[in-house]
Structure formats: structure tokens, C-alpha cells
Amino acid sequence: MLFNSIDFVIFLPIVFLLYWFVANKNYKHQNILLLIASYIFYGNWDWRFLFLIIFSSILDFLLGIKLSKETKKSKRKTLLFISVLSNLGLLGLFKYFNFFIDNFISVFSFFGEQIEYNTLEIILPIGISFYTFQTLSYTTDVYRKKLEPTKDFIAFSVFVAFFPQLVAGPIERAKQLLPQFYKKKTFDLTKAKEGLHLIIWGMFKKIVIADSCAIYANEIFSKYENMNSLTLLLGAIYFAFQIYGDFSGYSDIAIGTSKLFGVDLMRNFKYPYFSRSIAEFWRRWHISLSTWFRDYLYIPLGGSKGSKWLNIRNVFIIFIVSGFWHGANWTFIAWGVLNAFYFTPLLLKNKNRAYLRDIEEGRLFLSFKEFYGIVITFFLTTIGWIFFRSNTITDALLYIKRLFTFNFNGSLQYLSIERYAPELMILVGGFVIIEWFIKKREHPFYGKFVGFKLTLILLGIILLGNFSNVNDFIYFQF
């Protein structure tokens, strides 16, 4: 079920009313309703894959209890290994099986050995990368004795399958989210308004910004061989805003929807395109995933301790794994490697911890150094997105090669493709200006004239939204 679908528009008010007016006796009734609603939400896509979520929930719930009772270190490691192997094994089967088979065969073909084979028709369950990491963090934290295991299976199942963030995050930690399902919620009008504001702002990002940019990004990337440099540059920029509006819009809707049910989720984006360095960008982009890799992979590898070479090794491992997490394609791995190369000079110069103070805490206007840092960081990130968007590494390299031929021809070739192409440039520019002025907040509906602001955004969604077809959120495929 998509947030931007009629099904969800009907689904959400029904669950909201049942939650606050029928299941409001105690937290257990509320949890049961949320669990049923979450399974309906996910099963609307393909009910068969509910068994994967239920299996993960049962497995890690039981392993958590077993870990709390076991004292022998070797047996505790075995229990954690079972959790890791089972969860990553399922993820690997559904997401990476054909990738490894195809590349295994390609290696033999390179040496002249022809092997007959058939790949499996495997459907990728949406959200599997997200809830897999969520359950893994639970068993890992119990193993590290940083978290007491729950004995409430319903509450744990809701933690795993909570529908607002089930299919594309944020990737929540049990320490933060699970305790919220141990107590009865009381309706908070202020929190509900905050949630509605986030939902509306997220819808604007998705339907107006992301889906409009997608029209041109898709067209330009599909015909890049015939496009001049200026058009290719705009195509890459439009994809940068497509993926940002799409994914941060989803996160806003997820966080806002959760607030309607009295549940707080972590912030997942913090205006990443205002970052002054690549290191700052990764502290602001997909925060729940970046911090997950930091806590469960980077630090166990040694983090920033040890020699610079070990530090660099750890950085490359993190970015390569992050790239591979996004999909079974060499383009994602190349994207990860490129970001590791971006990050390495900052590490060597001990500047990776620069700009820990948020830019929104400073002046309204930037210094030249800050402005230059933002422009360069955005440019480097946009070049990286070309690998992320392209079908193959060859396509990405050819796209970049044509981009740097500086063949402008004095025209924008794509202006006749679809509707309001010149207006889209103004729209994206206006969106950047709005975000700059609201960068101390999560959405623009603060302060005075809230009703006026809401009316403008809603009119923007109605008049400028791309309603020609319902577009999936990009991160559903991950």
C-alpha cells in the first residue's frame, strides 16, 4: 500500500478512529490493532511475504529471551550467529541470489567455460532490507547487554512491522521504539497536528517535487547518448532532487503518521543538500542507516582507532556495504566506492569531524567558504547519483563522459518532452529557498500564518502535483 494512493487515504482514517475510539482501553488492545493494521498494510502488496516478517519476529523474539538466560559466552555468540545468519540469509536469498549466480557464471565465461544455468524468478519483498536491519539491531543489543529482551510478543511484533516505517524506514532501534509499545497512548492534539503537518509536507515533496523531477530525469537518463552537457547536468540535478524529495518525503509521512498514533520515530533527513562537506552530508542523509552502519559495523571494525590505513579500510568497507545494501547491481557498489573516495581526503586531513555544528545554528547568510563547500558537496553528490540512477556502470561512465565534454549547443533539448519544463526549474529553486528558511525546523508550518501556509502547500499539491499515475517510492526497491 502506497502512502500516495487512494487505498492509504481510506486506510489511515479507519485505523486512526479504531485506535483512539475502540482500542483505547489499554496498550495491549492498541498494539493488537496496530499489528493487524500493519499486516493488512503490508499484505496489500503481497500477503505471501507476511510469513517472512512473522518468521523474523518469532525467531528474534525467542533468541532475545534465550540470550538473556544464557551466561556462557560461546553459546551467546552461537545464538547471535543464528540471528545474523537467518536474517541475512533470507535477505541474501531474495535480494542477491541471482546477482551472485550471474557474476559467478560471468567469471567462468571470461575464462572460456560455458555453463548452462537458469536464474530463479525471485520477487524481492518490499522493505526486507529495513526490517531485517531492525530485528538484527535488537538481537545485537540484547547480546551486548545494552537492552533487556521483551517478553511481550505482540509489542515486539509491532516493533518489527509498524506500518508507517515498515517498508522504507526510518530503521528504528528497539531501545528507542519498543518501550513506546509498553504503555497506553493518550491522544495528544498538538502531536497529531504536528503529524498532519509532516504528512502534508512529505506529500508535497513526493507528489510535487520528486514525481515532477522524475519525468525529466527518466527521459534524460534513458536518452543520454543524444543529450548535450547542459541537459545531462540538469538531468543529474533533477534526479538528485527526485531521490531527495521521494525518500525524505516518505520519511516525513512515516514520522507524521506515527505521531497520529502517539509514536515518535527518529528524524531521517536533516537538509543534506546544505552540507558543507561529504562527511557532513552523511550525517544528514538517511540518518537511521548511517548510524546503523556506524554502531553495528564501523565501530566493531575498530572505527577511527588504529592507523590511518585501518581507518581508510573501515571507511571503504562501510561505503561498499552501504552501496550493496541498496541493491544487487554493480552500480550501487560503484556509488559506494566513489563516496569512500570522497570521504578519504577528509579523513586523512582530520576534517571528517568538521561542521559538527549545524549550519542552521549560524547566520542567515553564508560565508564564501560555506557557500563554496555546499556547492562542491552538492556537485560531488550529484555525480555519485549518476551511478545510483544508471542501469549499468558503462551507462554511468558514458553519461559522465558526455557531461564533461562541455557540449552545450546553446539549448535545453528536453524542454518539449513534458509539461511546464521551465516552471520546474523555478519550482525546484523555490523549494530550495523554502528549505533554507525553514532549516531550523522539520517543516514550514511553524510560527505565524500557519493556515495560510497550509493552504498554499495544499494548493501546490493540487495544482502542481503529478497525478497522471501513482509512482512508487524509490526506496521500495531496496
Catalytic residue numbers read 326
- Beta-carbon contacts of residue 110 (< 8 Å; ≥ 6 apart): none
3-state secondary structure of 171: coil
Burial code (b: 16+ CB inside 10 Å, e: under 16) for 353-367 equals eebeeebeeeeeebe
d(C-alpha 421, C-alpha 428), whole Å: 11
Separation in Å, CA 283 to CA 158, 269, 297? 28, 9, 16
Using the structure block, give the residue that is written with the C-alpha cell 493488537.
Answer: 32
d(C-alpha 255, C-alpha 271), whole Å: 16
Residue 164, Cβ neighbours under 10 Å: how many?
Answer: 28
DSSP H stretches of helix in 349-420: 368-389, 393-403
Asked if 243 and 410 touch (Cβ cutoff 8 Å), the reply is no
Using the structure block, give the residue that is written with the C-alpha cell 518469532.
Answer: 58
d(C-alpha 332, C-alpha 338), whole Å: 10
d(C-alpha 421, C-alpha 414), whole Å: 8
- Beta-carbon contacts of residue 300 (< 8 Å; ≥ 6 apart): none
Give the residue from 200, 235, 201 showing the smallest Cα distance to 215. Answer: 235
Asked if 147 and 139 touch (Cβ cutoff 8 Å), the reply is no
Asked if 76 and 114 touch (Cβ cutoff 8 Å), the reply is no
Asked if 276 and 359 touch (Cβ cutoff 8 Å), the reply is yes
According to the 3-state scheme, what is the secondary structure of 28-91?
A: HHHHHHHHHHHHHHHHHHHHHHHHHHHHHHHHHHHHHHHHHHCCCHHHHHHHHHHHHHHHHHHH
